[in-house]
Amino acid sequence: MFILDEPFASGILLDTLKRNRYPVLLNDFVKTLPEYEKLTLLSEERFIDRFKTKPLIYTNSENAIKWINDNLMFSDLIERIDTFKNKGKFRDILSGMYPDFYYKEVLLEEIEQLKLKDLKFPFIIKPSVGFFSLGVHYVEDADSWKAVREKLLEETVKIKDYYPEDVLDSSGFIIEEVIDGVEYAIDGYYDSYGEPVILNVLKHYFAGKDDVSDRVYVTSVPIVREVQDKVMRFLKSLSRLTVVKDFPFHLEIRIDTDGDMIPIEMNPMRFAGWCCTDISVFGYGLNTYECFMKNIKPDWDDIEQRCGDSVYSMCVIEKGSHIDDLLLKGFDYDKLCSTFSNVLDIRKTDFMRYGVFAFIFVQVESEDSPELKNILNSDLNEFIIYE
């Protein structure tokens, strides 16, 4: 079964639902979708009854967590969601596996009172319950902490309107040591036996050490191979610490210079946000929604024979804090597309509401493609239309 909610449901997702006649909860967001009547719709009562016998749910958005918390309180699903959604609780579970990892939870009102002696520089600070890179900051030293602290308090007022508290709660934060290394994002699920399945691996590129944006992600079969074994070992170890079954997730990790894998966070009930998991359809012809619902385990040897080492990228064209909303008139999407040689799809967004201009999916020649380097380091001013 599927629960759809804001901010976005892709055409690929909707076509998947219609083709397979997957049951979908009828809610206000669904009624805004084109031809929603063609979906297999269930009322809240019927959805809850069906869940009691077939507790298999996928959500396109963490906004759906509120409905789950309000209506499926009889299920242990709520506890599992909270365990992974709350970054502090997730770190607590992993503390036995990573005993030397430094982290600290603080409330918003405690931030100004934090003593320098109680902090371990450099560190990352982010909302304990968060989404995207909203409210995430890299702090190099005591001087930068002063600037970040002021900016963080200002941001809190602004970003709290983007998503519900179940998705982004800026009242609590987690401070973590900086994990040096290469970052990856993994879409996957635990099947009905608690066995993990990897569906998608995206390598996350950054413009510099203090960059915490979601601008560029790249995938290919060689990238999957880079981390597949390490991630599977971690997921199997995690399942021994907490019972997880019939559970989709979006895992973020880093692999350091010694080859050790350290988890960053694990987002529950969904794959890459804003339906960005669809990059697997463009790259591999692999529908991650169907894989989860039908218990399909990708044959990466077969995919490699079909796709070779082709490289695909998903770029998040976010509206940075340097952009003045009062002067912003529009965005030149045609010019953005012209900077890439092979655009597979572009998804425009309500940038004033969500702080993102677009998601663009492209095929490139290699991981170090000049096209990706250019967009990674762009301040976007060349595409922005001002008053």
pLDDT digits (tens, 9 = 90+) for 19-59: 999 999 999 999 999 999 999 999 999 999 999 999 999 99
Helix (H), strand (E) counts: the chain: 13, 18
Query: Is pLDDT of 133 > 70?
Result: no
pTM: 0.88
Evaluate whether 276 touches 286 at the Cβ level (below 8 Å). Answer: no
Position 31 scores a pLDDT of 98
Reference 270, options 48, 51, 18, 64; nearest CA is 64
* C-alpha atoms less than 13 angstroms from C-alpha of 20 in its C-beta half-sphere: 18
Question: Pick the residue with more confidence: 387 or 79?
Answer: 79
Instruction: Name residues whose C-beta falls within 8 Å of residue 100's C-beta, 6 or more positions apart in sequence.
Output: none
Contacts of 285 (CB under 8 A, 6+ apart): 306
Confidence of residue 312 (pLDDT cuts 50, 70, 90): very high
The maximal CA–CA distance of the chain, rounded, in angstroms, is: 60
Q: Which domains does the chain have, with CATH numbers?
A: 2-83 (no CATH), 97-177 (3.30.1490.20), 182-386 (3.30.470.20)
Which pLDDT tens digit goes with each residue over 216-262?
999 999 999 999 999 999 999 999 998 899 999 999 999 998 999 99
- Measure CA 99 to chain center: 26
User: What's the one-letter identity of residue 354?
Assistant: Y
